[in-house]
Amino acid sequence: MKELEKLFNRIVQRVNINLREQKFDVRPYADALIPPDQMSKFYAFYGITPDHPLDLHFENSALAGSYFLGKCRVRNSLLYKSDIRGDELKRKDNTIQFGDFALTLNKDEIIDIEDSALVKTLVHNYSHDPETPEKFFITDTLAMDYANIHGSPTDGSFLGPFATVDLTTMRDCVIGSYSYIQAGEISHQKVDPGTIWVHKPGQFNFLYKYPQDILAHYVSLSPDKVPWGVLIDFIEERKEQFQRVFDFVNLDAIESIPETASLDRYAVVLPNIKIAENVLVSQRAYLENSTLGKGANAQENCFIINSCLQGYNVTAHGAKIIEAQLGPYVFVGFNSFLYGKKDSRLTIGTGCVIVPHTIIDIDQPLEIPAGHLVWGLIRNKEELATNSLSLDELASVESSFTKGRMHFEGKGALLVQSFKDRIHHILEANGAFFANGENAGHAQRNQKLSLNTIQPFQFGAKAGMYPSIRILP
């Protein structure tokens, strides 16, 4: 364990140096973050497909229970049950448009993680920074439970539990628990817990902040204990079901599904699941007594329980849908928590957009009309009225408006179009529109995925660490 502890201390020191201006010490949060006795118990997994470049490089790192796909490099880092998905990285000779600039890549893009600790963290998409088009870097960074680093090169930063940084280059920042940031580029900022910020300079700026006392009920963080709250409890109650993810010998057989759909062998699938054509179910998703209609998807760390998704639904990374009926083309954003009850079901109409990190926790039946944008904390009809708006009404906004704790500036039509374009792209990339051999996406290509394992050192000074490995075609 000596090498593991030495590496951990080095990472904490490097993160703290970067955050010295913020006067933020990560060590109290980090001490219980990675259990040393668990680091040698779990294998790492890497995927091989004919559709993604095989180039994996692990050096002086611990990778317990982590999953890798595509071109990845991990050096001097600790990854615990994290997902590093490089299946959407840019390819050599691709031409990428950034504003007025057209950039042609000289080599395949790589996810490059160095001097970082990522716990149950998802890393996905590709670098949206025009200055680093061939490298999606994560350096000197500590990310806590169920954080998402999505298309966001990150340097010298801390992400609290359930925090998401999306399509945003981030340097020397502290992102509070359950915050969602999509802002292009941020530097030397400390973001309060529960901040939902969608900003495109010169076009729109959407800002909402959860009441801190109420947010603490759902997710809390303090220096003297591990994260806690309703969201953590919800996952912990189902923890035993996920042990199968790491048992590569005794995995249950998965029943046949449509030829155009993909059900990952490391998803948890409990009885009474119906999966239609072109459905994608990613690793670490949890499905129970639910229906996924044509073209729907359940991304990593999603929970769908006692619910029906009628088709072409996007359930983004970490979203949870319980006791709900979703019409077609409903988008449920990152880490949203839609918590209906058996006698108080949630109904969401066609084409609604549930903003990332939305909490709907109801004790009475609730219906959201078709074509609405929904955000923030909703526990009843009154809060729904305050925290929702029809997409048509939003599109008519020309300057600014405030509703409840949400403030918007810019042209609403641009925000609406941005959401629609993003949702269409996600469905397209996931293969929702596959037909007659055309428009293949992850749901079709993942059927050719071969998963392999790497084992850590089991004893001695290097226990919990992994051998340095370079895997090439």
What is the per-residue DSSP string for 391-455? HHHHHT-SSEEEETTEEEEE-HHHHHHHHHHHHHHHHHHTTTT-BTTBS--HHHHGGG-EEEEE-
Average pLDDT in the chain: 93
Question: Domain check: are 79 and 106 in the same one?
Answer: yes
Q: How far apart are CA 373 and CA 102, in angstroms?
A: 33
Q: How far apart are CA 151 and CA 333, in angstroms?
A: 15
Q: Please report, for the chain, how many H helices and E strands are present, in that order.
A: 8, 51
pLDDT at 248: 47
CATH code of the domain covering residue 18: 2.160.10.10
Question: Domain check: are 218 and 259 in the same one?
Answer: no
What average pLDDT does the segment 178-205 reach?
Answer: 97
Position 406 in a domain = no
Confidence label for 246 from pLDDT (cuts 50, 70 and 90): low
On the CB side of 424, how many CA atoms lie within 13 Å of its CA?
6
Position 324 in a domain = yes
Question: Domain check: are 274 and 211 in the same one?
Answer: no
- Mark 247-279 as b/e (b = at least 16 C-beta within 10 Å): eeeeeeeeeebeebbbbbebbbbeeebebbbbb
Question: Domain check: are 147 and 269 in the same one?
Answer: no
Q: How far apart are CA 464 and CA 461, in angstroms?
A: 9
Number of domains within the chain: 2
Position 244 in a domain = no
Position 246 in a domain = no
Residue 251 has pLDDT above 50, yes or no: no
What average pLDDT does the segment 317-344 reach?
Answer: 98
Q: How far apart are CA 320 and CA 307, in angstroms?
A: 10
What average pLDDT does the segment 129-142 reach?
Answer: 95
Does residue 123 contact residue 85 with C-beta atoms inside 8 Å?
Answer: yes
pLDDT at 203: 96
Question: Domain check: are 225 and 273 in the same one?
Answer: no
Question: Domain check: are 283 and 378 in the same one?
Answer: yes
Percent of the chain with pLDDT over 70: 97
Residue 341 has pLDDT above 60, yes or no: yes
Question: Domain check: are 76 and 185 in the same one?
Answer: yes
Tell me how far CA of residue 99 lies from CA of 94, 354, 385, 422, in angstroms.
16, 28, 37, 17
Position 325 in a domain = yes
Position 419 in a domain = yes
pLDDT at 473: 84
Question: Domain check: are 107 and 131 in the same one?
Answer: yes
Question: Domain check: are 457 and 436 in the same one?
Answer: no
Main-chain phi, psi angles of 414, to 5 degrees: -70, -35
Question: Domain check: are 153 and 276 in the same one?
Answer: no
Question: Domain check: are 117 and 263 in the same one?
Answer: no
Question: Domain check: are 137 and 281 in the same one?
Answer: no
**Structural domain containing residue 356:** 252-398+413-446
294: CB partners within 8 A, 6+ apart: 276, 277, 278, 279, 311, 312, 432
